[in-house]
Amino acid sequence: GAVVSQHPSRVICKSGTSVKIECRSLDFQATTMFWYRQFPKKSLMLMATSNEGSKATYEQGVEKDKFLINHASLTLSTLTVTSAHPEDSSFYICSARTGEGYGYTFGSGTRLTVV
């Protein structure tokens, strides 16, 4: 089946540094990818929709200058958390639709801890 590979699975960074999270579709082309964040014991919250070759569409309240999204190819989307702070610590998850008539495939998530 369709696989979305997300890396790293876990990262710890110092406050003020930037962290890049990669999301790759392994056996299909994803023109659109979605980025979510999830706080402990909470549901997934959509951050942005990433379209190949164009600017991402951010949900209300999400700082686009802080969460930089790049979707340079049909198989790769990246989320960069810039100048990370402890409140950015969260579980980040990417997703892509595998095709009409199919569901959405999710990455395994990235646990970001900012110290």
Partner 1 sequence: DAKTTQPNSMESNEEEPVHLPCNHSTISGTDYIHWYRQLPSQGPEYVIHGLTSNVNNRMASLAIAEDRKSSTLILHRATLRDAAVYYCILRDLAGGSNYKLTFGKGTLLTVNP
Report how far residue 98's alpha carbon sits from residue 96's, in angstroms, rounded to the nearest whole number.
6
Which residue type sits at 50?
Answer: S
Candidates 14-22, 66-74, 82-90, 92-100; binding stretch for partner 1 (CB under 8 A): 92-100
Helix, strand, coil percentages, rounded to 5, for the chain: 5, 50, 45
Candidates 11-19, 67-75, 78-86, 95-103; binding stretch for partner 1 (CB under 8 A): 95-103
Binding mask of the shown chain, residues 10 to 39, with x at each position contacting partner 1 by CB under 8 A: ---------------------xx-x-x---
Sign of CA dihedral 13, 44, 46, 78: positive
Least spacing, CB of residue 26 vs partner 1, in Å = 14
Give the CA angle between residues 93, 104, 19 to the nearest 5°: 20
Candidates 11-19, 40-48, 66-74, 80-88; binding stretch for partner 1 (CB under 8 A): 40-48
| Collapsed DSSP state (helix, strand, coil) of residue 87 | helix
Q: Is 6 in the site for partner 1 (CB under 8 A)?
A: yes
Q: Is 109 in the site for partner 1 (CB under 8 A)?
A: yes
What is the Cα Rg of the chain in Å? 13
Binding site for partner 1 (CB under 8 A): 4, 6, 31-32, 34, 36, 43-46, 49, 51, 91, 93-95, 97, 102-109, 111
